[in-house]
Each structure stands twice: as C-alpha cells, then as structure tokens.
C-alpha cells in the first residue's frame, strides 16, 4: 500500500467508503464486518462514514456503529486507522437526503458520532453538505468550535465549491485538511476544486470515484451500469491484467498528489481489488488515453 498525507496524518492512498454496508441493499452483518476487515488486511487506513448512512427512517449512526464494531473485532493493529465521519444530513422515511447545517444540529450530531464511534475525539469530522438555509460561515464555525473543544481532531468539508473551500480555509486555517466532492471519469465538475486543494495543501477525497466504471464491466460492456464510452479503461486494464476499477482508481491517483479515493464496497473481494490500485503505475500514454476517454469538464 502506498500512502498520502491528510493533515498531519499519513493514510493509505486508497480509502474505504463504508456507506454501502448500511443503506439499501446492504449485506448481512457477517459480510459487512468481513468487508471492513478485508480493507484493513489490505493496508487501508482511511474509513469514511457518516451519521446519515442508514436505512430510511431508521436511527442515525448504523454505519458508525458498524465501523466501531469492526475495529473492535479486528485482530490486528488499528492505531493507524483514521475514521472520517460527517454530519449535517438526514434520511427520513421517504428515503430522501435532507440537509441541516444549523450549528446546534452539527454540534449535537458530532456528540452522537463520538458516542457511537466510542472515541474521545473524532479523527476527521466533515460538514456533509452546505445548507442553503444557513450561512456557510456559521456551519463552518460549528466545526471550529468542535476543534477548539477537542471533540474533533481535524475538519473537512464536502460537496463544496471553490469559494466555500476558501471560506472554510479562512475560518479554520490549517485545521481544515480535506474536501470530499464527487469526482470520477463520468463526473469531472470539481476540477477547479481539486486544483485549489492542491494549492492549499488539502486532501481531495472523491466520492463515487468509479462513476462510469461499473463493477459489472469485468463481465462485458453489455452488462447494466457499464458505459461503453469508457472502454479505454478496459483496454488499459487488459494490458495490465487487472480490473477496470483498479485502472480507474490508479488514474484518479495520478490526477494529483492531493487525491485520496474512497471507493465503496459491500464484499471483501471488492475492497481487496480496489486497494491493489495503490500499487498500479500507469504510463504517460495510458494516462493520456484515459484523460481523453473521461467526460470533459462541465459535461455529463
């Protein structure tokens, strides 16, 4: 496993997005725990969760509790594992994703996350999404209060634009360490945000990093979810004898030293395959081919 920097922490170049283990279609507990353990066995030291990762209408925190259980049950060393969680969203019974950036709500959410994770301070706490009904400065101010109180060690923001990142950086200084936005071959709207992260020394955590490169692409482009226009990823994968998903993650890592992909997984073999991407080195011609195949900036 190769490593990258997130604030003052050294973490695996590939993280695990734990969300699929708690939402609709989630696996049973045994497979969920085995998936997290497979990630740890593969050298993954960044686990990304949120209090809102649960079934619609259920109690918040299923995913955080699962992460805590998985770490407690793991037979190896977990001291180097950074658990990143998020607050500011909800999942009512209708299955929608609500947003609440009220500082009081964020402080209460962080307290709940602390209890569920069973830690004295959250490693990385992220504002899940800006709330249009609340001034962004006030939501970020809640993160500053949590930092000052020692409830969280590092702070991040998610689903933010360039100006919001600059605002968060002005308020939090070097205690802002990450930005988590959607970014993949299919969605490249956050190129400007990625460049800014590199400029400011922030980690950029792409969520849904395999967009356009479905797991089913291993079985042929006719399978649901695979997009033929991303066939270059298959071509490069065949040349290396690896999966298109590994190629996609390696391509993301090559985009910038700031990038830390957090692919989701719901079975052990999936995260093992993703983690192996950290060791895959692509040539300049291959990267140029993949750059051309990915959706241009601003188009989906």
Name the residue with higher pLDDT: 215 or 93.
Answer: 93
pLDDT, one tens digit per residue, over 117-150 is 999 999 999 999 999 999 999 999 999 999 999 9
Model pLDDT, residue 214: 67
Q: Which region among 36-40, 50-54, 191-195, 294-298 has the lowest average model confidence (pLDDT)?
A: 294-298
pLDDT above 80: residue 226: no
Model pLDDT, residue 229: 76
Maximum distance among all Cα pairs of the chain, rounded to whole angstroms: 53
Average pLDDT of the residues of the chain: 94
Residue 174: count other Cβ atoms within 10 Å of its Cβ.
Answer: 12
Model pLDDT, residue 296: 62
pLDDT above 60: residue 258: yes
- The whole-angstrom separation of Cα 57 and Cα 98 is 12
pLDDT, one tens digit per residue, over 205-219 is 999 999 988 654 333
Phi, psi (rounded to 5 degrees) for 24 = -55, 140
Model pLDDT, residue 91: 96
Average pLDDT over residues 71-90: 97
- The whole-angstrom separation of Cα 299 and Cα 272 is 31
Model pLDDT, residue 220: 41
- The whole-angstrom separation of Cα 239 and Cα 218 is 14
Identify the band that residue 230 occupies on the pLDDT scale cut at 50, 70 and 90. Answer: confident
Q: Which of 3, 53, 125, 183 is catalytic?
A: 53
pLDDT above 50: residue 18: yes
pLDDT, one tens digit per residue, over 158-198 is 999 999 999 999 999 999 999 999 999 999 999 999 999 99
Average pLDDT over residues 66-82: 97
Is residue 53 annotated as a catalytic residue, yes or no?
yes
């Amino acid at each position: 496993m190769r490593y990258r920097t997130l604030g003052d922490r050294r973490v695996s170049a590939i993280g695990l997005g734990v969300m699929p283990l708690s939402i609709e279609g989630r696996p049973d507990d045994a497979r969920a725990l085995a998936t997290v353990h497979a990630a740890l066995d593969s050298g993954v030291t960044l686990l990304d969760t949120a209090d809102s990762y649960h079934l619609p209408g259920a109690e918040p925190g299923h995913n955080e509790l699962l992460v805590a259980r998985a770490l407690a049950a793991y037979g190896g060393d977990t001291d180097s594992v950074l658990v990143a969680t998020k607050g500011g969203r909800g999942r009512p019974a209708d299955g929608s994703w609500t947003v609440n950036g009220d500082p009081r709500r964020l402080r209460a959410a962080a307290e709940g996350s602390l209890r569920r994770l069973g830690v004295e301070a959250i490693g990385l706490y992220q504002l899940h999404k800006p709330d249009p009904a609340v001034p962004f400065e006030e939501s970020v101010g809640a993160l500053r209060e949590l930092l000052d109180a020692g409830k969280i060690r590092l702070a991040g923001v998610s689903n933010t634009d360039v100006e919001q990142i600059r605002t968060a950086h002005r308020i939090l200084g070097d205690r802002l360490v990450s930005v988590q936005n959607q970014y993949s071959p299919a969605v490249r709207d956050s190129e400007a945000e990625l460049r800014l992260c590199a400029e400011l020394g922030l980690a950029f955590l792409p969520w849904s990093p395999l967009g356009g490169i479905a797991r089913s692409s291993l079985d042929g482009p006719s399978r649901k979810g695979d997009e033929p226009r991303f066939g270059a990823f298959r071509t490069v994968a065949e040349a290396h004898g690896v999966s298109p998903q590994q190629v996609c993650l390696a391509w993301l890592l090559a985009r910038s030293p700031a990038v830390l992909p957090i692919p989701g997984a719901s079975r052990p073999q999936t995260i093992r395959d993703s983690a192996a991407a950290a060791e895959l080195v692509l040539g300049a011609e291959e990267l140029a081919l993949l750059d051309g195949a990915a959706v241009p900036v601003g188009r989906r």
